[in-house]
Chain A
Amino acid sequence: MTTRTSDYGVAQERDWNALPDNAFRQLVRAEFEAHYPAALRFPPGRLRWSRLSGWYLRMAGKGWIAPNWPAEYGGMGLSPAKLLIFIEEQERWGIARFQDHGVLMVGPVLQRFGSEEQRRRFLPHILSCRHIWCQGYSEPGAGSDLAGLSTRARREGDDYVIDGHKIWTTLAQDATHIFVLARTAPEAKKQEGISFLLVDLQQPGITIRPIRDMAGHEEFCEVFFDGARTPAANLVGEENRGWTIAKSLLTFERIFIGSPKLPEYGLAMLENLARARGVDSDPLFRDKFTQVRLDVLHLGDLYARFADTLVRGEPLGPDISMLKIWATETFQRIADLAIETAADCGGLSGDVAMGAASIDALSIFYKARVPTIYGGSNEIQRNILARQVLDLPS
């Protein structure tokens, strides 16, 4: 066993990659099962930092907050195979995500495109959870056509001054910082005038307004920039090269949106629901259930193919988009069948008494609406596949 040191965060207690896969899985599973609060498993929506801080501060204390970062930057330094295991175990146990854009996005961006000064200034606070980051990408006028964004950043002395309006910013209420795509060269072609800026949210020029969704949750926000300031030292990479940085993200992470774990959880819930309603051996239900069950089985088979690619150390190609489409639409079919099976209970919200059980069927129906929209809508994914994989003309 070797102790690995880091200038940025807690030292890792050992080289995780040296462990056999199964031993590593057992070790991670044991930690999750022993310490993750049972009441927070498989929550119906995203949870606020106030409820998750206990767990994630524990993870930070163990040095497990950034499984995807190299050990030299204070991460767990996991190989692709070990990282897949870590995340599979998180999903299997129904561990809620906090607002983890600092770990998933800011960290990797600074490690690849940032300066040493920026890394020293920001990485330790991401690892300790003192800084919580959110993502300032979408705008009211720039959704699928993200490069059409119009938030402006102009240089004024040693600062950038930002004016604009971001939207669908997940859990900005919990965040201390935001990374922003802003236009720094209005006259340039749309992808070529965008910069990647790191901004402190705690300043007078910024207003955050939560948006209530149709399920009654407040998971995303609008963020208004009205003469907000950030030091020029918070520009990542070169000015007007932000689009390249934004595009480089979402490579490795793209596989997780296609993970079979959430649909598997949906199936288990559907099965409980059918039993509670007494229709689990009804032939009509069984045919529909077997159909979605095979959809999930084959989602797992497709996922394994891409996971193998990662484990071999090869990059994911644009064909990964099919995994997102199949995973998210399969989850929707399960959700459809859940409220159909719930019958008259399908209009009742929250935990609903069905037979001896108490089941919240609507929560997955609401939950299934969003993944086909975020991360590049499924229609955008189909455009990508048509052009880049099927080689159809434009």
Chain B
Amino acid sequence: MRDDTLTLLADAAAAFAKPDSRRIRALRGRPDGFDRAVWRGMAGQGWFSVTVPEDAGGLGLGLDAAATIATRLGYANYPEPFVAAAVLPTAVLARGDNPAPCAQLLAELCGGDRLVTVAWQDDAGALAAEATAVTEQDGVLAGHCRFVRVAAADVFIVAARGADGLALYAVERDRAGLAVERESAADGSASARLVLAGVAVGAADRLASPLCAPGALAHAADAAVLCTAAELVGIMERVLELTFEYLRTRKQFGKPIGAFQALQHRAVDIWIQKELSRAALDAALRRFAAAATARDRALAASSAKARAADAALRVCKEAVQLHGAIGFTDEYDLSLYFNRALVLCAWLGNAAAHRRRYGDLSAVGDGLAAAAAEAA
């Protein structure tokens, strides 16, 4: 995508989403965990359809547009679930092969009227669609999904394995047989565990058949992984701002603590982690856009999340240490970013999981074999 489009989008996002810790604090622990009015405002910006193809009524931009928005929302610590309830479900809906219900749900989602998310992970949090713990038999869904980041969703798109393979079904939250259990997350939001005890689904509920469901879900999951890395980059940017400002102003032994070399070098090291995560993210977005296969998309997503999750935890932990005791208080805003980072680092695979996935997808030496042969 053209850089100036992204710059305009970044400017618009910065104007819309400003850090406002009072608002964030007030929303913690509330049933939705975020503000539906703000959500509709985000819809009004056209953000939910940035990656939706133009012929489906979207803007048809690349994933870097969604990542630009996610970065800013991370910076402003927005609890509104842009990645889980926009990036993830729109990527699925744009690839479903049941056109009428997909189009309708996509329109309702993009307008901000209905909150939609995707549910497929098992109790262990496996990222692969094939690991779903929900089955479909004769039009009835049974099983469970966990780590559903939008407990308040109006519609869950559930991955289920049936006689003919993996398919995706739309399940409204009030559908008989569906129970939404809540687990509280570190940032004050709720994560849902869905228990499907005989949920009847019809042909109109089946959004994606086995012909396209695995591919659509894999694409969507990797897009969400990348945008989560982007959100973490935004979090790191803000945490570093808070930390450097503190180092410049907090005085001990008669001078600002940021004048001490021991602290300067630690500050530099976490800043490098953020810069590296940013470079890794930008490159991964380019690789994702150019990818010819699902494997290449997965490699791009995992490389970025492995880096960003590892870096964000380091940055946040070091930020607490550089602040001292104030950094560990709930009252100081660092706590909001720290807790959000904990949630996002773990969601859809932590750094170790993505390193493993990256390693498994690329056998040892893949891409290096040529260089090694040359060197021999």
To the question of whether A and B form a pair in one complex, the answer is yes
Q: Are B258 and A393 in contact (CB under 8 A)?
A: yes
User: Would you call A13 an interface residue if the criterion is a C-beta within 8 Å of the partner chain's C-beta atoms?
Assistant: no
Q: A265-B375, A386-B268 are in contact. Are A271 and B368 (CB under 8 A)?
A: yes
Interface stretch among B72-80, B126-134, B351-359? Answer: B351-359
User: Would you call B248 an interface residue if the criterion is a C-beta within 8 Å of the partner chain's C-beta atoms?
Assistant: yes
Nearest to B240 among chain A residues (CB) is A390
Nearest to B244 among chain A residues (CB) is A390
Q: Are B248 and A302 in contact (CB under 8 A)?
A: no
The smallest C-beta distance from B49 to any residue of chain A, in angstroms, reads: 29
List, in ascending order, chain B residues with CB within 8 A of A293's CB: 358-359
Q: Are A294 and B355 in contact (CB under 8 A)?
A: yes
Bound together, the chains give a CA A218 to CA B280 distance in angstroms of 39
B251-287 Cβ-contact flags toward A at 8 Å (1 or 0) = 0000110110100110111011001100110110000
Bound together, the chains give a CA A269 to CA B371 distance in angstroms of 9
User: Would you call A268 an interface residue if the criterion is a C-beta within 8 Å of the partner chain's C-beta atoms?
Assistant: yes
Segment 324-376 of B: residues with Cβ below 8 Å from A: 352, 355-356, 358-359, 364-365, 368, 371-372, 374-376
Nearest to A302 among chain B residues (CB) is B279
Bound together, the chains give a CA A268 to CA B255 distance in angstroms of 48
User: Would you call B307 an interface residue if the criterion is a C-beta within 8 Å of the partner chain's C-beta atoms?
Assistant: yes
Bound together, the chains give a CA A9 to CA B359 distance in angstroms of 51
B222-246 Cβ-contact flags toward A at 8 Å (1 or 0) = 0000000000000000000000100
User: Would you call B216 an interface residue if the criterion is a C-beta within 8 Å of the partner chain's C-beta atoms?
Assistant: no
Contacting residue for A390 out of B271, B276, B279, B358, CB 8 A: B271
Q: Are B306 and A294 in contact (CB under 8 A)?
A: yes
List, in ascending order, chain A residues with CB within 8 A of B376's CB: 272
Q: Are B265 and A274 in contact (CB under 8 A)?
A: no
Bound together, the chains give a CA A389 to CA B356 distance in angstroms of 34
Nearest to A306 among chain B residues (CB) is B279
Segment 265-306 of A: residues with Cβ below 8 Å from B: 265, 267-269, 271-272, 274-275, 280-281, 286-287, 289-291, 293-294, 297-298, 300-302, 304-305
Q: A383-B264, A390-B267 are in contact. Are A301 and B282 (CB under 8 A)?
A: yes
Bound together, the chains give a CA A298 to CA B351 distance in angstroms of 15
Q: Are B364 and A271 in contact (CB under 8 A)?
A: yes
Bound together, the chains give a CA A264 to CA B371 distance in angstroms of 8
List, in ascending order, chain B residues with CB within 8 A of A42's CB: 375
Bound together, the chains give a CA A392 to CA B374 distance in angstroms of 46
Contacting residue for A290 out of B258, B264, B276, B359, CB 8 A: B359
Nearest to B255 among chain A residues (CB) is A393
List, in ascending order, chain A residues with CB within 8 A of B268's CB: 322, 325, 382, 385-386, 390
Q: Are B265 and A382 in contact (CB under 8 A)?
A: yes
Q: Give the interface size class of chain B.
A: 35 or more
The smallest C-beta distance from B133 to any residue of chain A, in angstroms, reads: 25
User: Would you call A394 an interface residue if the criterion is a C-beta within 8 Å of the partner chain's C-beta atoms?
Assistant: yes
Q: How many residues of A contact B (CB 8 A)?
A: 46
Of B261, B264, B267, B307, chain A has the most CB atoms within 10 Å of the CB of B264
Bound together, the chains give a CA A283 to CA B109 distance in angstroms of 42
Bound together, the chains give a CA A42 to CA B372 distance in angstroms of 12
Bound together, the chains give a CA A383 to CA B364 distance in angstroms of 37
Bound together, the chains give a CA A294 to CA B303 distance in angstroms of 7
User: Would you call A379 an interface residue if the criterion is a C-beta within 8 Å of the partner chain's C-beta atoms?
Assistant: yes
User: Would you call B180 an interface residue if the criterion is a C-beta within 8 Å of the partner chain's C-beta atoms?
Assistant: no
User: Would you call B192 an interface residue if the criterion is a C-beta within 8 Å of the partner chain's C-beta atoms?
Assistant: no
List, in ascending order, chain B residues with CB within 8 A of A325's CB: 268, 272
The smallest C-beta distance from B278 to any residue of chain A, in angstroms, reads: 9
Bound together, the chains give a CA A304 to CA B248 distance in angstroms of 32
The smallest C-beta distance from A263 to any residue of chain B, in angstroms, reads: 11
Of B307, B356, B364, chain A has the most CB atoms within 10 Å of the CB of B364
Nearest to B261 among chain A residues (CB) is A383
The smallest C-beta distance from B288 to any residue of chain A, in angstroms, reads: 13
Q: Are B267 and A392 in contact (CB under 8 A)?
A: yes
User: Would you call B247 an interface residue if the criterion is a C-beta within 8 Å of the partner chain's C-beta atoms?
Assistant: yes
The smallest C-beta distance from B321 to any residue of chain A, in angstroms, reads: 16
Bound together, the chains give a CA A294 to CA B306 distance in angstroms of 8
List, in ascending order, chain A residues with CB within 8 A of B282's CB: 301, 305
The smallest C-beta distance from A331 to any residue of chain B, in angstroms, reads: 15
Q: A290-B359, A382-B264, A386-B265 are in contact. Are A302 and B372 (CB under 8 A)?
A: no
Contacting residue for A265 out of B244, B255, B267, B371, CB 8 A: B371
Of B269, B282, B372, chain A has the most CB atoms within 10 Å of the CB of B372
List, in ascending order, chain B residues with CB within 8 A of A272's CB: 372, 376
User: Would you call A326 an interface residue if the criterion is a C-beta within 8 Å of the partner chain's C-beta atoms?
Assistant: yes
List, in ascending order, chain A residues with CB within 8 A of B276's CB: 298, 302, 326
The smallest C-beta distance from B142 to any residue of chain A, in angstroms, reads: 34
The smallest C-beta distance from A256 to any residue of chain B, in angstroms, reads: 18
Bound together, the chains give a CA A298 to CA B376 distance in angstroms of 25
User: Would you call A155 an interface residue if the criterion is a C-beta within 8 Å of the partner chain's C-beta atoms?
Assistant: no
Q: Are B359 and A379 in contact (CB under 8 A)?
A: no
Bound together, the chains give a CA A272 to CA B356 distance in angstroms of 20
Q: Are A271 and B365 in contact (CB under 8 A)?
A: yes
Q: Are A393 and B279 in contact (CB under 8 A)?
A: no
Bound together, the chains give a CA A305 to CA B272 distance in angstroms of 14
Bound together, the chains give a CA A326 to CA B272 distance in angstroms of 8
User: Would you call A391 an interface residue if the criterion is a C-beta within 8 Å of the partner chain's C-beta atoms?
Assistant: yes
The smallest C-beta distance from B359 to any residue of chain A, in angstroms, reads: 4
Q: Are A268 and B372 in contact (CB under 8 A)?
A: yes
17 A-B pairs whose Cβ atoms sit less than 8 Å apart in the complex = A41-B375, A42-B375, A272-B376, A297-B280, A298-B280, A298-B307, A325-B268, A382-B264, A383-B261, A385-B272, A386-B261, A386-B265, A386-B267, A390-B267, A390-B268, A392-B248, A393-B259
What are the 5 A-B residue pairs with the smallest beta carbon separation, nearest first?
A386-B264, A290-B359, A268-B372, A301-B283, A392-B258
Footprint of B on A, CB under 8 Å? 41-42, 92-94, 264-265, 267-269, 271-272, 274-275, 280-281, 286-287, 289-291, 293-294, 297-298, 300-302, 304-305, 319, 322, 325-326, 379, 382-383, 385-387, 389-394
